[in-house]
Amino acid sequence: MLKHVDYIVLDEITKLFVALVLGAIIGAEREYRTKSAGFRTVILITVGSTLFTIVSNIMSPDGRIASNIVTGIGFLGAGAIFKEGANIKGMTTATTIWISAAIGMAIGNAQYEFAFVAVVIVMIVLLGFTWMPHAIERINTEQIYRITTKEVKIQYHSDLRDQFKSCGVKAKCIHQKKYDEEMHLTYSIKGSRRQHQQVIDYLFMNEDIITFDV
């Protein structure tokens, strides 16, 4: 009987160490890319999810305790997401936190095969698909342009839009403000890298443009 109990304890401890190793693999990649959820954070999430699952299986076999892991991880993931201009940052980090918890739960239920396969898939996505966003960005990306011009005539808006159109980009004025003899304009512009460079070249050469930033 005692040997059986020792075997169970050893099995649960093994789960925690497996969670440590798999969490470290994912966490190392996140730490290398200097993300907010790095090496230690991902390890603790994976080990913590494994521990909660183990305790849930002991105290509440219906999985009631383990189900709350998803809620808790949701708060952690939300903290990793922030807005930068028109772009949302941290989505990959948030989803990495989410799937690390799922891997921990799989380990806690002794589903090692699923856990190992999931880690392989995660690493393929994080390491092998990095070229895809860059390739898409070359074809189409959205940038926010904040332009200050000394020209306040309504006609100038039309001239500016025509110039954007000649560059091949899709431009939308999302904010405008008149201050003394200056007009402050904010444009959301979509296009390829080459088209964005054409827009920037135009803004540099236009004498009516006081300042602009992207």
CATH code of the domain containing 203: 3.30.70.260
Residues 6+ positions from 194 with CB-CB distance below 8 Å: none
Residue 24 has what pLDDT?
95
Query: Where are the extended beta strands (E) located within 65-153?
Result: 82-84, 87-89, 141-149
**Domain shared by 124 and 173, yes or no:** no
Q: Rounded distance, CA 126 to CA 120, Å?
A: 10
**Domain shared by 14 and 105, yes or no:** yes
**Domain shared by 61 and 108, yes or no:** yes
**Domain shared by 157 and 56, yes or no:** no
Residue 33 has what pLDDT?
85
C-alpha neighbours within 13 Å on the C-beta side of residue 141: 19
pTM above 0.75, yes or no: no
**Domain shared by 81 and 150, yes or no:** no
Q: Looking at 96, 129, 162, which one is the last position of a domain? A: 129
How many domains are contained in the chain?
Answer: 2
Structure tokens of 160?
A: 């500016």
Residues of the chain with pLDDT under 50: 2
Domain that holds residue 168: 137-213
**Domain shared by 141 and 115, yes or no:** no
Q: Rounded distance, CA 50 to CA 48, Å?
A: 5
Q: Looking at 79, 106, 129, which one is the last position of a domain? A: 129
